[in-house]
Homo-oligomer: A and B are copies of this chain.
Amino acid sequence: MDTTSRTYDVIAMGRSSIDLYSNDIGAPFEEITSFAAYVGGCPTNISVGTRRLGLRSALLTAIGDDQVGNFILHFLRREGVETQFIPRKPGRRSSAVVLGIEPPDRFPLTYYRDNCADIELTIDDVLATPIAGSRALLITGTGLSKEPSRSATLFAAEMARLAGATILLDIDFRPDQWHDQRAFGVTLRSALRLVDIVLGTEDEINAAMLTDPDQISITHSQISDARVSGDTDAAIQQLLNLGPRVLVQKRGAAGSRVHLVSGADGAMRIDVPGFPVEVKNILGAGDAFASGFLYGHINGWGWYKATRLGNACGAILVTQHGCANFMPTYNQVMTFIQDRGGF
């Protein structure tokens, strides 16, 4: 199905937040004196990241009837992300994230997502959004964590599937957003029939096949960076059996590995090297990756080159303080790649 004439290149659906990131880099959380104010949330970051690269990008999240919602909207509009489908949810609160930054490996995070607006996305909100007018739909694991967002997200994926759009799922495993961490995998596996491309870290891939909550370890309140043990290769094979044709395994500094379904002999692998940089803050790096990868995919690039662009975007972001506010532009990432020897 030729989708090039569609209004949007990508609609991202799911959570958004004000991201409050410690300005006292290296200070323990108790001693933080101020926080920078950014915008974040996996699909929100990707909507901004793809927009900065040049895609026509829309976001379907929800905000409360509060100043924080205004803050999020104001930023998105300035970035040129389409915000007209974002509903206000009376009586619900715009999400917030509070983050400590102690590089290289401590990023304690507190979510303010109780009664949050974005988990109140409904099937009616989806119907008010031109899903069929987009070439790609990006959904996330957290969007499946609670109703009504869960069924709305699946409904959007069904609509996108019917319209021949590419459906990407960012696994986005946030353990404290689930009533039972095993329910995460159960739910994700049921959604995969609707997904073309899965994006996730090794921990997230293991989480998707988790059978025992003890496989998870969270240190320093790093909800967004849980360690999950497991047989990653077996997990990848099992996930690919459930519907997707591609699974991209994000491997941090080591780059990424693309797993393709390829007939009888199982999956085919493409290893795509990363770019070595000094880590300041890992949050949002995966979303920068997704933005670059999506840019390449929408423009018909091969898996290697699209993934390599994603790696570059991710590398740039880990050197930065925040998420959406620091997504690279097309020129920035291209210069970055050229400076490091090209694709």
Contact of A29 among B70, B112, B189, B194 (CB under 8 A): B70
Indicate if A242 sits at the interface (CB-CB under 8 A). yes
Interface residues on chain A, size class: 35 or more
Q: Which residues of B contact A74 (CB under 8 A)?
A: 30-31
Q: Which residues of A contact B (CB under 8 A)?
A: 18, 20, 23, 29-37, 66-68, 70-71, 73-75, 93-94, 96, 98, 100, 108-110, 112, 114-116, 122-123, 146-148, 151, 154-155, 158, 179-180, 182-183, 186-187, 189-191, 193-194, 221, 242
Q: How far is the CA of A208 from the CA of B123 in the complex (A)?
A: 15
Q: How far is the CA of A194 from the CA of B241 in the complex (A)?
A: 13
Q: Which residues of B contact A32 (CB under 8 A)?
A: 37, 71
Q: Which residues of B contact A94 (CB under 8 A)?
A: 110
CB-nearest residue of chain B relative to A66? Answer: B110
Q: How far is the CA of A112 from the CA of B158 in the complex (A)?
A: 33
Q: Contact between B123 and A180 (Cβ–Cβ < 8 Å)? A: yes
**Given A34-B37, A114-B115, A182-B155 contact (CB < 8 Å):** yes
Q: How far is the CA of A93 from the CA of B96 in the complex (A)?
A: 12
Contact of A112 among B33, B96, B155 (CB under 8 A): B96
Q: Which residues of B contact A73 (CB under 8 A)?
A: 30
Contact of A114 among B35, B93, B179 (CB under 8 A): B93
The 3 closest A-B pairs by CB, nearest first: A151-B183, A114-B115, A30-B74
CB-nearest residue of chain B relative to A184? Answer: B151
A171 to chain B, nearest CB (A): 16
Q: How far is the CA of A33 from the CA of B35 in the complex (A)?
A: 9
20 contacts between A and B (CB under 8 A): A18-B98, A20-B20, A23-B34, A32-B71, A34-B34, A34-B36, A66-B110, A66-B221, A67-B100, A67-B109, A67-B110, A96-B112, A112-B112, A114-B114, A123-B182, A147-B147, A148-B179, A148-B180, A154-B190, A155-B183
Contact of A155 among B147, B186, B194 (CB under 8 A): B186
Q: Which residues of B contact A31 (CB under 8 A)?
A: 74
CB-nearest residue of chain B relative to A33? Answer: B37
Q: Which residues of B contact A110 (CB under 8 A)?
A: 66-68, 93-94
